[in-house]
Amino acid sequence: MTQSKSSAAYARLYLNDAFTYGLVLLGGLLVAAQLRLKVTAGAALGDSYAAQPPILALLVVVGAVVSVVAQLFLQSRTGRWGRFWAGVVGTGVLAASLLILTPEFSQLQVAYFALASVGIGVIILRLTPNRYPLSDSLHLLWRNRGLLALWVRYNVVSRYSQTFLGILWIVMLPVATSLILAFVFSYIFTARDIGDAPFITFFLSGMMYWTLFMQGVTNGTVSIVSKLGLINQIYFPREILVLVKLGEALVDFAFIFVVTLVINALVGVYPNFNYIYLPVLLLIQLVLMLGLMMLVGYLTVLVRDIQQLTAVFIQMMFYLTPIMYPVDILTENLAELVMFLNPMAALVNAYRDVMVYNRAPDFVSLYFPIVLAVVLCYSGYMFFKANERKLADFR
Amino acid sequence: MNPVITVENVSKRYRFQSYRPSLRQEFGQMVKRLVGKTDQVSWEEKPFWSLRNISFTLNAGDSLGIIGPNGAGKTTLLRLLSGIIEPTEGHIEVVGNFAPLIGLGAGFDHERTGRENIYLNAAIQGVPIPQIDRAMPDIIEFTELGEFIDRPVKIYSSGMVGRLGFAIASILTPDIVFLDEVFSVGDIGFQSKSMERILAFKERKTTLVFISHSLDAVQKLCARTLWLEHGQVQMDGPTDAVVAAYQTARAVREGM
């Protein structure tokens, strides 16, 4: 419940703010790196890219600390805008030290960095009206992990225990769709240039992750609305409702993954050593999904139309994601735009690098999805927690 | 001793109509705002104060009864205390674990069995799963449901649902309990069992906040009583005095 503001609570709040500033600055750096390199689809890590030196990580930490100190002095400017100016100070200090300490960064890139940082900072500040310690929320969530596991299990079991084919339905739908599309594209349309890989492998390597994304976000829109009755009667951390939907989607995904491995083996493609990258890629995708799901889940309660809008939006995103086609068939400018606007495009490309072409994913092309995922998830969660007690008023 | 519940000048305003805009209405309002026509009747102009300027404090082990006619704001107050909604104005502080027993049997998933619902409801109230496992035989015995425990809740009678809801309370060991109309379900035998459980809470020095239309139960359980009328405190004091005044007022109103 409401807790009294002890010095420990204040310390946690400032730790929280330091984390926020660090996130903003790091995000700015990654976006700046990607903008300078103009990395397009699937390009392997080139010589032009030197690994970010550890000094950058140090600078980000220093910038975050400077921001918090600045915030202490700017406290009289009240809440939100005090945080904004504190962030600007931190960004400025970091930009200046970048110019002096790391000559490999051009001035233009430092300018990119500052712009991106301010942009990300404004987004985070807009979405987090109240300061609310993240550690408290996470602690409460951890205490309720039993409920989460229970809920996911019951939902998965009850969804499939009443149908004749049971758990098979989880895999039947995407696999059937894939087979039909694979047939259509292999025999009816002329084959795209996808290398030596069989089309079904090429297609499934994108489709399975897209199914996870689509299922999670689509169900995320109704996660809160469908439980408003319960929300009205008892308090529990509301994000559990969103996490339950994510958990269900993950369970389905696990089955589809196994079936995909079997299908791949049948056409002669076997798991390779680069599969060790898959958990990292999946983590990025899950963080992205969680941020989106919390936002659409909350907003659907306010405006019910969000549910339909999301469905249309996802349909559109499907065609902007290189699932049925390799990204190379797009013109260079279009490919760049698609990869930049659609975080799933870069992710699908990375999955495909691993599962079809047996090579390490291009992490530079993933900078933008990573920043987007973390910013969305963090600010989405803060927004969610700051407003969750208003949910019961929207019956 | 520090109070466990502090309520300071708390008010709760509800929107007069259920405000659930669609995009169409939103766009309409946005256009009106852009054009500068601000004569729209917004909910701001028709506030409905469900609670107004409520203040009280409770120490550990206190028991507070809340009485008043329907619509006086009793349940709203309990929902504020249990953190489901936040006050429009004022400040609420609750220190310690609390278990809300609001609208018993509410929050059940009617497609699931009684056993699954016990797990879900207890877990929602923050009970660790192993503890639920251990308490399961005790709960099932308390509900008197027998083999119905593994049938879906949708085939239960309302009395059975109520018993199931109350049984879950038996494994909770909270510092504070919020009770709302817990005696409206079950037969006489079950009601006396429920009363025993609540008295057991009292013996453990659990703080009680108790809403009821049953004045007898309030007199039995609570030393202090708050009488709400139209969202405001009509009277706050020792139970006997408040209940007597409430009964007099009701008799006068019904006599007219």
pLDDT per residue as tens digits for the range A295-319? 899 989 888 888 999 999 999 898 8
Number of residues assigned to chain B = 256
* Half-sphere exposure (Cβ direction) of A308: Cα atoms closer than 13 Å: 5
Take residue B35 and report the two structure tokens written for it.
Answer: 């054009």
Take residue A91 and report the two structure tokens written for it.
Answer: 């960004």
- Mean pLDDT of the residues in chain A: 78
Residue A154 has pLDDT above 50, yes or no: yes
Reported as a single tens digit per residue, the pLDDT across A340-361 is: 678 898 899 899 989 988 888 8
Reported as a single tens digit per residue, the pLDDT across B14-56 is: 765 545 556 666 666 666 666 665 555 454 446 788 888 889 8
More confidently predicted of A218 and B60:
A218
H helix and E strand count, chain A? 15, 0
How far is the C-alpha of B132 from the C-alpha of B120, rounded, in Å?
A: 10
DSSP secondary structure, A107-143, as one string = HHHHHHHHHHHHHHHHHHHHH--S---HHHHHHHHHH
Take residue B70 and report the two structure tokens written for it.
Answer: 């329907």
DSSP secondary structure, B42-61, as one string = -GGGSEEEEEEEEEEEE-TT
Interface-testing mutation among A226, A393, A394, with chain B (most B C-beta atoms within 10 A): A393
Q: In angstroms, how far is the first alpha carbon of chain B from the final one?
A: 46
Reported as a single tens digit per residue, the pLDDT across A61-93 is: 777 777 777 666 665 555 556 777 777 777 777
Alpha-carbon A326 to chain mean position: 22
Q: Which residue of A has its CA nearest to B98?
A: A1
* Half-sphere exposure (Cβ direction) of B189: Cα atoms closer than 13 Å: 4
User: Regarding beta strands B89-94 and B207-211, do their DSSP bridges make them parallel or antiparallel, or are they unpaired?
Assistant: unpaired
The answer to whether the Cβ–Cβ distance between A234 and B86 falls below 8 Å is no
Q: For chain A, where are the E strands, in sequence order?
A: none
pLDDT given for residue A220 in this prediction: 93
| A255 closest CA partner among A330, A170, A154, A355 | A170
How far is the C-alpha of A337 from the C-alpha of A254, rounded, in Å?
A: 31
pLDDT given for residue B105 in this prediction: 61
Domain chopping of chain A, boundaries: 7-127, 135-393
Residues of A in contact with B15 (CB under 8 A): 393
Q: For B98-251, where are the E strands, in sequence order?
A: 98-102, 176-180, 207-211, 224-229, 232-238
Q: Is A366 exposed, middle or buried (0-12, 13-18, 19+ CB in 10 A)?
A: buried
Contact criterion met (CB below 8 Å) for A281 and A353: no
* Half-sphere exposure (Cβ direction) of B195: Cα atoms closer than 13 Å: 18
The answer to whether the Cβ–Cβ distance between B93 and A395 falls below 8 Å is no
Domain chopping of chain B, boundaries: 5-97+174-255, 110-172
- Number of residue pairs across A and B with CB atoms under 8 Å? 81
Reported as a single tens digit per residue, the pLDDT across A97-117 is: 777 766 666 666 677 777 777
Q: Which CATH architecture has domain B5-97+174-255?
A: 3-Layer(aba) Sandwich (3.40)
Number of residues assigned to chain A = 395
Instruction: Find the mean pLDDT for residues B223-241.
Output: 88
Buried b (16+ CB within 10 A) or exposed e, B47-80: eebbbbebebebebebbbbbbbeeebbbbbbbbb
- How far does the CA of residue A388 sit from the closest CA of chain B (Å)? 9
Residue A177 has pLDDT above 80, yes or no: no
Angle, helices A367-387/A107-127, rounded to nearest 10 degrees: 20
Residues of B in contact with A305 (CB under 8 A): 22-23
Residues of B in contact with A151 (CB under 8 A): 120
